[in-house]
Structures are given as C-alpha cells and as structure tokens.
C-alpha cells in the first residue's frame, strides 16, 4: 500500500507541474509540441481502452503508474491548450487546470487521509489463485467507496503468452444494505433476498471461506450461515 500511496500522491502533486514544464520548455518548438500532443492522446487512448476492457497488469503499483501517466497526459494537453491563441481553448484549459490544481492541493494536504482510504480500497486485502488461469481477489469496502462496510470480490483471468497481463471478468459486492421500515426509519439488512446490489442476490460478507469445486468449476464463497456460488465457466 505504501508504494501505491506514494505513486498516487506524487502523481497528484507533480503531474500538473511536469506538464507545465514540458510545454514551456518546448513552447518555441511546434514540432515537439505536436509530438507531445500525439504521445498524450496515445496515452489517453491506451489507458482508456485498458479501463474499458478491464485489462490490467498483475502489479497494483504498475497499474497506478499507468493511471498517473493518464493524468499527466491530461495535464499536458491542457497546458498545450493554454498556449493556443484560441480564446475558447485558453479559457477552457485554464479553468480545468485551476480545478486540477485545486484537487491536487486538497488531496495532498487536508485531504491526504481521504486519499489514503481510497488507495487502501484500491489494493486487494486478499489474493488467491483458484486454478491455472483464474485469480480471486477480495477488496475491503466501507472506507471510501461505499457508505457501508463489506467487501468486493473480483475474478481475473491471465493470458498464456502475457502472464503479467490479466482481465477482470467478474465483480460483485457483498456489503450491507438498508431497507425502509413502516416507521420511515432505515434498518440494516443482510439477507440475500432483499439486497438490490448488482441486481443479484447478495449479502454482507468479508474474509470468505473459499471452496473450489473442480468437477463443476464452481467457486463457493461462505460467510457464517450464508454462501454464494460463482460459476466460473458461465
């Protein structure tokens, strides 16, 4: 977690400044500015495609570096926008840069605890290889991403020729929900029948006991008296 937190904090603080330096150093070199723009657009497209297809690396730190490069590419493009003579581009880029600088200052000072909570939920609390190509990861929820506690289970598959690259093909949350009673008060519930999360029956659970059925290729998650069966081949 320490490495991810340092990378995230460095990206928030340094990337707007690095972007400014890259653009200012090459302000009299239109060819280099075009190259910066192309590299930045390519980085945005590459990382966006990976996010859209749920493809990542096997290292959370490397994934965080790619997200940092994504943020740096945005900063570079915005600084390039401020160097244009077009007033619309200048105003639009300047406003967004002010917002980004504000968020960077917020999360690197008084909001640093919130950043730590977010980073803490980005890193899995548990990682188990189910079979030769399937990896189980469990993430704690309740510090920053959800209003109530619990966990999120994700399943990843690896590629034969690129073992350091993986794709998430399943994700489900097991967190506490709320039901409204007749006296208009909120009551916490944990029964599988009532929870609307992911539009499938679920329940509160964390630190699941895992049972892998090799004959059916099913993964059974057990928590106290409840359990959920994940069909890996469907």
Strand order in the sheet with 126-129: 55-57, 165-175, 150-158, 134-141, 126-129
- From CA 184, how far away is CA 205, in angstroms rounded? 26
The pLDDT of residue 184 is 39
- From CA 104, how far away is CA 168, in angstroms rounded? 29
The pLDDT of residue 70 is 96
- From CA 116, how far away is CA 103, in angstroms rounded? 15
Token pair in block for residue 155: 């399943």
Angle 148-153-154 from CA coordinates, rounded to 5°: 135
Q: What is the pLDDT along the chain (234 residues), one digit of tens a residue?
A: 678 888 988 998 899 999 999 999 998 888 999 999 999 999 999 999 999 999 999 898 999 999 999 999 999 999 999 888 788 888 889 899 898 888 888 877 777 777 777 777 778 888 999 988 889 999 887 655 555 677 888 999 988 788 889 999 888 888 765 433 334 333 343 334 433 333 445 677 788 889 898 888 888 888 888 888 888 776
The pLDDT of residue 147 is 55
What is the SS3 assignment for 54? Answer: coil
- From CA 95, how far away is CA 109, in angstroms rounded? 21
- From CA 171, how far away is CA 153, in angstroms rounded? 6
Q: Which residue is listed with tokens 């977690």?
A: 1
The pLDDT of residue 232 is 79
The pLDDT of residue 165 is 92
């Amino acid at each position: 977690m320490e490495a991810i937190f340092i990378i995230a904090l460095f990206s928030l603080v340094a990337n707007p400044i690095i972007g400014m330096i890259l653009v200012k150093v090459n302000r009299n070199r239109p060819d280099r500015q075009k190259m910066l723009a192309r590299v930045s657009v390519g980085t945005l497209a590459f990382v966006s495609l990976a996010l859209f297809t749920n493809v990542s690396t096997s290292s959370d730190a490397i994934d965080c570096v790619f997200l940092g490069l994504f943020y740096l590419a945005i900063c570079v493009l915005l600084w390039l926008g401020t160097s244009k003579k077009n007033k619309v581009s200048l105003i639009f880029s300047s406003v967004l840069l002010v917002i980004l600088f504000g968020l960077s200052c917020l999360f690197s000072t008084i909001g640093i605890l919130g950043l730590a909570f977010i980073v803490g939920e980005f890193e899995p609390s548990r990682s188990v290889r189910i079979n030769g190509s399937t990896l189980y990861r469990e993430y704690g929820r309740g510090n920053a991403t959800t209003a109530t506690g619990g966990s999120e289970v994700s399943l990843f598959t690896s590629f034969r020729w690129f073992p350091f690259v993986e794709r998430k093909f399943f994700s489900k949350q097991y967190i506490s929900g709320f039901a409204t009673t007749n006296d208009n008060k909120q009551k916490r519930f944990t029964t599988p029948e009532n929870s609307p999360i992911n539009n499938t029956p679920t329940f509160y659970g964390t630190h699941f006991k895992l049972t892998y059925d090799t004959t059916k290729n099913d993964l059974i998650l057990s928590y106290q008296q409840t359990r959920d069966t994940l069909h890996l081949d469907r």
